[in-house]
């Protein structure tokens, strides 16, 4: 397979909170159209990686490059304007949705387009209508988030992220707050996006989903990458003992 454009490059990334090292010397790349699955036990640093890439946390060491532009190089951050430009290339879907409760579903999807990208209201609403149709929520455009189920809220938040046309969409345990039925709804949406070659990084505890959707899997524990490779290798035939014990219940 020919190597396509590199969307995210993480090199020797480390992050500490006080004296606790959460991430230690991690490197990986995500290429255009690829889905990277990150699995591992709670507290292994998976979410922190996404939070570093989206600038919600500052790194303690290492470099992050997004679409060829340096976000942080050897722990030195780019200028304010560059950081903002880079931030717009990356979308993030949160575990607990974080929709804006005072805005209707439609406004949740249009507001950032208008205030951040400077689009006209008509243009923003046209884009929003398409995205809401895509996640199956056209009928809910005028509802408020509190009137929706968790699965519906998460689908709105995916539409909200897509509305800004990011180069890559990151998912931080998008189904962990949902029951199994609603989980299916969200996974179906992500699978659709994968089929359309959307570049994505998915942190998840849904092993079957990670195996079936990802092109590449990273298994993390204790802030380091323990094992990585194709889904078949890592999930079906793990080589490391730690990976095996983590997946024991799944593979049993």
| Residues of the shown chain interacting with another protein in the complex, contacts defined by CB under 8 A | 54-56, 84, 87-88, 90-92, 94, 96, 98-102, 111-112, 115-117, 144-146, 157, 160-161, 164
Q: How far is the CB of 177 from another protein (least distance, A)?
A: 12
Instruction: Please name the helix (run of DSSP H) or strand (run of DSSP E) that holds residue 210, with its range, or none.
Output: helix 207-213
Rank residues 115 and 244 by Cβ distance to another protein and give the closer one: 115
Q: How far is the CB of 189 from another protein (least distance, A)?
A: 18
Q: Contact at 8 Å (CB) between 27 and 10?
A: yes
Quote the CA–CA distance of 147 and 109 in Å, as a whole number.
16
Rank residues 96 and 130 by Cβ distance to another protein and give the closer one: 96
- 51 token code pair: 């939070």
- 33 token code pair: 């159209």
Q: How far is the CB of 136 from another protein (least distance, A)?
A: 22
Rank residues 10 and 226 by Cβ distance to another protein and give the closer one: 10
Rank residues 10 and 234 by Cβ distance to another protein and give the closer one: 10
- 231 token code pair: 């889904």
Describe the strand order of the beta sheet including 168-172 as a list of residue ranges.
Answer: 90-93, 168-172, 199-203, 35-39, 216-221, 224-229
Instruction: Name residue 84's beta-bridge partners.
Output: none
Q: How far is the CB of 108 from another protein (least distance, A)?
A: 10
Distances (CA, A) of 223 to 3, 4, 35, 40, 45: 28, 28, 21, 10, 5
Rank residues 63 and 110 by Cβ distance to another protein and give the closer one: 110
Rank residues 30 and 207 by Cβ distance to another protein and give the closer one: 30
Q: How far is the CB of 163 from another protein (least distance, A)?
A: 9
Instruction: Please name the helix (run of DSSP H) or strand (run of DSSP E) that holds residue 212, with its range, or none.
Output: helix 207-213
Q: What is the DSSP letter of 41?
A: -
Residue 143 phi, psi dihedral angles, 5° rounding: -75, 165
Instruction: Please name the helix (run of DSSP H) or strand (run of DSSP E) that holds residue 199, with its range, or none.
Output: strand 199-203
Rank residues 98 and 237 by Cβ distance to another protein and give the closer one: 98
Q: How far is the CB of 1 from another protein (least distance, A)?
A: 31
Q: How far is the CB of 57 from another protein (least distance, A)?
A: 10
Instruction: Name residue 72's beta-bridge partners.
Output: 64, 77
């Amino acid at each position: 397979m020919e190597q396509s454009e590199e969307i995210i490059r993480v090199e020797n990334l480390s992050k500490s909170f006080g004296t606790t090292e959460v991430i230690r010397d991690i490197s990986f790349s995500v290429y255009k159209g690829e889905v990277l699955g990150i699995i591992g036990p709670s507290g292994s640093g998976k979410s922190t990686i996404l939070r570093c890439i989206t600038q919600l946390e500052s790194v303690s060491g290492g470099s992050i490059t997004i679409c060829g532009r340096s976000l942080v190089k050897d722990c030195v951050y780019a200028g304010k304007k560059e950081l903002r430009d880079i931030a717009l290339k990356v979308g993030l879907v949160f575990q607990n949705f974080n929709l804006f409760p005072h805005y209707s579903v439609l406004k949740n999807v249009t507001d950032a387009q208008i205030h951040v990208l400077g689009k006209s209201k008509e243009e923003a609403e046209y884009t929003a209508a398409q995205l809401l149709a895509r996640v199956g929520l056209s009928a809910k455009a005028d509802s408020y988030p509190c009137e929706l189920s968790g699965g519906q809220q998460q689908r709105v938040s995916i539409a909200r992220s897509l509305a800004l046309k990011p180069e890559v969409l990151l998912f931080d345990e998008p189904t962990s707050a949902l029951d199994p039925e609603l989980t299916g709804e969200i996974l179906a949406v992500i699978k659709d996006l994968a089929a359309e070659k959307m570049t994505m990084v998915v942190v998840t505890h849904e092993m079957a989903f990670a195996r079936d959707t990802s092109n590449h899997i990273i298994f993390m524990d204790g802030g380091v990458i323990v094992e990585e490779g194709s889904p078949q290798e890592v999930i079906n035939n793990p080589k490391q003992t730690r990976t095996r014990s983590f997946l024991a219940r799944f593979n049993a």
